């Protein structure tokens, strides 16, 4: 029975990451064929994205953005700073919450090691935005001062997030905080779509809706109040829609985890596709109508149909794989590549290939 003599410089998070990485490499080595296949699929996705970059650089949105940023840079920087700060604060607070139940919360870890990990989390929350921002500034060919403003925005956002997380850390909370409460109550017979509706409502938090605030940065200076209001509402709707979509798909997995022993018919599970499919249909209709209203009548219905088709394909992937939506990214990418190749080689066959993929996935979903 001895008090141990902890090493104050040891970083348990780094050791854990190292061990996880070691295990992953071992798994890759044990299945070289599968690893090579996955690597090729990711490589193909990367090449596809890089190939799309020059097209994006020529789009009219870039001109709009450039005009907006040059016309009145201060509101743009302030808006970006506020949104970045909200994002970073939310990430850091989530990390603090997770640390209350983390395996090393009661271990003798020096405060400066914990602080170091906290800064790393904050840095990782801001890094993708910094890279995206630098890329955007390069594409827009803005003066060098813009890079300075971007760095200032990131710095201010980081400071705000650190202060916000510090405040939340000092407030005692349950180790397992209560789940978000639904915004509206529901009663009635057990149907998956009712549960999905409640979950979707629970996700309408200020943190989620703030993600839609990015659209504010696209509003041109001098735009009318109505246009600005409509754009803001559109941004909020997009953020709320994406959250509702993700949460409704998560319900399928949660239901699978605790209802699979119940004598439920296949139609119960397939009924779980109804709510996200309705969301997808609504999104496709709204997007198509908006594009048509803006004058892009020739492509409006194709874009709407494309969005619906891809959304239905993702639902089928989740049902078939019984994994969270972000875990079926590879499967989704493979299907996208297949559809993309078909579109290039034999466009008329595209609906048939899409239908075939969906049916194949639904057949997999029907397994016990």
Partner 1 sequence: MSPVRLDVRDLHLDYGQEVVLRGVDLRVHGGELLGLIGPNGSGKSSLLRACTGTLECRGELAVDGIDPRREPLAARSRLGYAVDPATLPGALRGRQCIELVARVRGLDGSAIEQAHALCRQLALSPWIEREVAAYSLGTRQKLAVVLALLGDPPVLLLDEVLNGLDPLAAWQLKQVLRERADAGSAIVLATHGLDVAERHLDRAALLLDGRIAADWNRDELARLRTSPGGLEAAVVEHLRAAQ
Least separation in angstroms between CB 210 and partner 1: 23
Contact partners, residue 4, CB within 8 Å, separation at least 6: 108
Site for partner 1 contains 172 (CB under 8 A): yes
Q: How many CB atoms lie within 10 A of CB 290?
A: 15
Would you say 99 or 232 has its CB closer to partner 1? 99
Would you say 109 or 365 has its CB closer to partner 1? 109
Would you say 5 or 187 has its CB closer to partner 1? 5
Q: Are 129 and 161 in contact (CB under 8 A)?
A: no
Q: How far is residue 20's CA from residue 139's CA, in Å, rounded to a whole number?
A: 37
Site for partner 1 contains 254 (CB under 8 A): no
Burial class for 63, CB neighbours closer than 10 Å (0-12, 13-18, 19+): exposed
Which ranges in 58-142 belong to alpha helices (H)?
60-71, 73-99, 111-140
Of 17-25, 82-90, 196-204, 321-329: span binding partner 1 (CB under 8 A): 17-25
Query: Of these, 29, 58, 174, 326, which contacts partner 1 (CB under 8 A)?
Result: 174
Least separation in angstroms between CB 124 and partner 1: 18
Q: Are 56 and 62 in contact (CB under 8 A)?
A: yes
Contact code string over 95-114 relative to partner 1, x by CB under 8 A: -----xxxxxxxxxxxx---
Task: Report the candidate in 281, 219, 211, 213 with the shortest Cα–Cα distance to residue 245.
Answer: 281
Site size with partner 1, rule: CB under 8 A: 34
Contact code string over 271-300 relative to partner 1, x by CB under 8 A: ------------------------------
Two tokens, residue 296: 């892009």
Q: Are 207 and 90 in contact (CB under 8 A)?
A: yes
Count of H-run helices and E-run strands, the chain = 14, 0
Would you say 22 or 183 has its CB closer to partner 1? 22
Site for partner 1 contains 163 (CB under 8 A): no
Q: If you ran DSSP here, which 8-state letter would residue 260 be given? A: T
Site for partner 1 contains 5 (CB under 8 A): yes
Site for partner 1 contains 8 (CB under 8 A): yes
Site for partner 1 contains 2 (CB under 8 A): yes
- List interacting residues with partner 1 (CB under 8 A): 1-8, 10, 12, 15-16, 19-20, 23-24, 100-111, 170-175
């Amino acid at each position: 029975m001895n008090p141990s003599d902890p090493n104050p410089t040891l970083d348990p998070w780094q050791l854990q990451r190292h061990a996880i990485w070691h295990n992953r490499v071992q798994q890759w080595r044990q299945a070289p064929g599968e690893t090579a296949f996955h690597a090729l699929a990711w490589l193909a996705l990367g090449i596809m994205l890089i190939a799309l970059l020059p097209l994006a650089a020529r789009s009219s949105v870039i001109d709009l953005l450039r005009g907006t940023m040059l016309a009145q840079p201060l509101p743009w920087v302030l808006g970006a700073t506020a949104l970045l700060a909200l994002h970073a604060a939310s990430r850091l607070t989530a990390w603090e919450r997770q640390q209350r139940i983390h395996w090393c919360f009661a271990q003798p870890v020096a405060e400066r090691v914990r602080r170091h990990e906290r800064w790393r989390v904050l840095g990782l929350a801001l890094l993708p935005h910094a890279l995206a921002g630098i890329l955007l500034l390069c594409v827009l060919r803005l003066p060098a001062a813009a890079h300075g403003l971007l760095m200032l925005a990131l710095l201010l956002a980081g400071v705000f997030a650190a202060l916000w997380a510090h405040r939340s850390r000092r407030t005692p909370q349950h180790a397992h905080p209560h789940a978000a409460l639904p915004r509206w109550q529901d009663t009635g017979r057990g149907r998956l779509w009712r549960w999905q509706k409640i979950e979707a409502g629970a996700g309408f938090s200020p943190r989620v809706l703030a993600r839609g605030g990015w659209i504010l940065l696209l509003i041109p200076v001098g735009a009318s109040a109505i246009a600005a209001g409509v754009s803001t509402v559109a941004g909020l709707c997009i953020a709320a829609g994406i959250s509702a979509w993700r949460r409704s798909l998560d319900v399928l997995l949660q239901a699978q985890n605790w209802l699979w022993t119940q004598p439920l018919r296949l139609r119960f599970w397939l009924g779980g596709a109804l709510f996200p499919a309705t969301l997808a249909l609504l999104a496709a209709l709204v997007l198509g109508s908006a594009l048509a209203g803006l004058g892009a009548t020739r492509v409006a219905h194709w874009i709407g149909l494309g969005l619906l088709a891809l959304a239905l394909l993702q639902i089928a992937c989740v049902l078939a794989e019984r994994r969270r939506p972000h875990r079926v990214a590879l499967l989704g990418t493979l299907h996208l590549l297949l559809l993309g190749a078909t579109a290039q080689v034999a466009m008329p066959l595209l609906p048939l290939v899409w239908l075939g993929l969906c049916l194949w996935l639904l057949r997999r979903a029907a397994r016990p």
